[in-house]
């Protein structure tokens, strides 16, 4: 366990070193997240407006939503989720391209990375559709809660395991699309093949990166959010709301960092599994042990 923690900490520090030298990389996940949220709000708002604000509001208040409104709502949600996913993948694809250039000693920029991502737009359109479908499938498995606590827990565990497995087997998909010109289906096959070739089928967990950030930022952020929310509902919103807001901001910043580090590391890992050598600041031994096996 100590070795796993040490490895995660070392890898995280190395990825952070790349970001410190190229801080513009953080703009990709940050801007992508903001635009994805805007897309969801715009599509959702436009959809409800198209159906009629008063009609939707009246049906919702009466607790009787017609079949047509329900179907239209589902379509709007799917479209919003797809656009948000597509935007995120475009910006993360730009980061992958910049990471590849910078790790090979060549200068890059936000505009160059984004341009490269848009050059692979057809493949990214398909990959975003697959990601959206998988997301909805996992959401369906989790369910909306069940009176049976055991069933609810089992569903959450199953969805969590499937999410980790999907995260691992698709780890190289975005680099394959952006750097190798693969289509989404071919990229998934290539990613699975590389995982099997390098680590076999005995993968026991995800890629070890970001553990240090999770410890020093995500966990405190969650704690601040929970405590602040409790204080706010207990009658002291002036103290609770700022604390909860701080927690949310910390979590968002931490997630931006982890997303950037994961993209950078995926590029280094791709070169490692293809060439068997270290890449950038990452040591070959650390790259090999980055995926935990049984």
209-235 pLDDT, tens digit per residue, is 655 566 666 778 888 889 888 888 888
Residue 224: CB partners within 8 Å, gap ≥ 6?
A: 243, 244, 246, 247, 250
Binned at pLDDT 50, 70 and 90, residue 51 comes out as low
SS3 58: helix
Q: Compare 264 and 178 and report the one with higher pLDDT.
A: 178
Mean pLDDT of the 242-260 span:
85
Helix runs in the chain, H state only:
2-21, 27-51, 53-62, 67-103, 110-119, 121-142, 149-169, 173-180, 184-199, 211-213, 219-233, 237-275, 284-288
Binned at pLDDT 50, 70 and 90, residue 2 comes out as very low
Identify the pLDDT of residue 108.
92
Which of 99, 125, 122, 119 lies closest to 262 in space, CA to CA? 99
Mean pLDDT of the 267-292 span:
76
Identify the pLDDT of residue 180.
95
Residue 19, judged by CB atoms within 10 A of its CB (0-12, 13-18, 19+), counts as middle
Mean pLDDT of the 241-265 span:
86
Identify the pLDDT of residue 205.
45
The fraction of the chain above a pLDDT of 90, given in percent, is 31
Binned at pLDDT 50, 70 and 90, residue 83 comes out as very high
How many domains is the chain built from? 1
Least confident of 69-78, 175-184, 189-198: 69-78
Q: Compare 151 and 133 and report the one with higher pLDDT.
A: 133
CA distances from 52 to 39, 46, 76, 132, 152 (A): 20, 10, 14, 27, 36
The average confidence (pLDDT) of the chain is 81
Residue 81: CB partners within 8 Å, gap ≥ 6?
A: 40, 132, 135, 136
CA-angle at 207, arms to 204 and 209, nearest 5° = 140
Cβ count near 266 (within 10 Å):
24
The pLDDT of residue 289 is above 70: no
Task: Tell me the residue range of the domain where 38 lies.
Answer: 2-293
The fraction of the chain above a pLDDT of 70, given in percent, is 79
Q: Compare 184 and 285 and report the one with higher pLDDT.
A: 184
The pLDDT of residue 63 is above 60: no
Q: Compare 150 and 47 and report the one with higher pLDDT.
A: 150
Report the half-sphere exposure of 55 (CA within 13 A, side-chain side): 13
CA distances from 134 to 118, 123, 128, 177, 253 (A): 23, 17, 10, 18, 26
The pLDDT of residue 163 is above 50: yes
The pLDDT of residue 53 is above 60: no
Identify the pLDDT of residue 59.
52
DSSP β-ladder status, 291-293 and 203-207: antiparallel
Identify the pLDDT of residue 96.
96
pTM metric for this prediction: 0.82
pLDDT tens-digit readout, 95-121: 999 999 999 889 999 999 999 999 999
């Amino acid at each position: 366990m100590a070795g796993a923690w040490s490895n995660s900490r070392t890898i995280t520090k190395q990825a952070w070193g790349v970001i410190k030298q190229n801080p513009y990389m953080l703009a990709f996940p940050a801007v992508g997240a903001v635009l994805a949220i805007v897309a969801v709000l715009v599509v959702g708002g436009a959809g409800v407006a198209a159906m009629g604000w008063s009609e939707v509001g009246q049906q919702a208040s009466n607790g009787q939503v017609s079949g047509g409104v329900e179907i239209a709502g589902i379509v709007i949600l799917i479209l919003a989720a797809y656009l948000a996913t597509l935007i995120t993948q475009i910006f993360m694809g730009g980061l992958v391209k910049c990471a590849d250039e910078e790790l090979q000693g060549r200068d890059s920029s936000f505009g160059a990375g984004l341009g490269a991502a848009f050059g692979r737009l057809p493949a990214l359109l398909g990959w975003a559709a697959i990601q959206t479908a998988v997301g909805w499938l996992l959401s369906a498995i989790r369910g909306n809660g069940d009176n049976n606590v055991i069933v609810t827990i089992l569903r959450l565990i199953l969805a969590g395991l499937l999410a980790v497995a999907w995260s691992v087997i698709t780890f190289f998909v975005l680099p394959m699309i952006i750097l190798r010109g693969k289509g989404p289906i071919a990229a998934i096959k290539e990613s699975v093949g590389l995982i099997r070739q390098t680590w076999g089928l005995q993968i026991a967990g995800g890629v070890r990166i970001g553990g240090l950030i999770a410890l020093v930022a995500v966990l405190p952020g969650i704690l601040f959010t929970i405590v602040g929310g409790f204080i706010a509902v207990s009658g002291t919103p002036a103290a609770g709301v700022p604390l909860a807001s701080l927690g949310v901001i910390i979590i968002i910043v931490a997630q931006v960092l982890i997303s950037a580090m994961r993209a950078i590391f995926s590029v280094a890992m791709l070169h490692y599994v293809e060439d068997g050598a270290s890449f950038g600041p990452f040591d070959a031994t650390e790259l090999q042990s980055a995926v935990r096996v049984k």
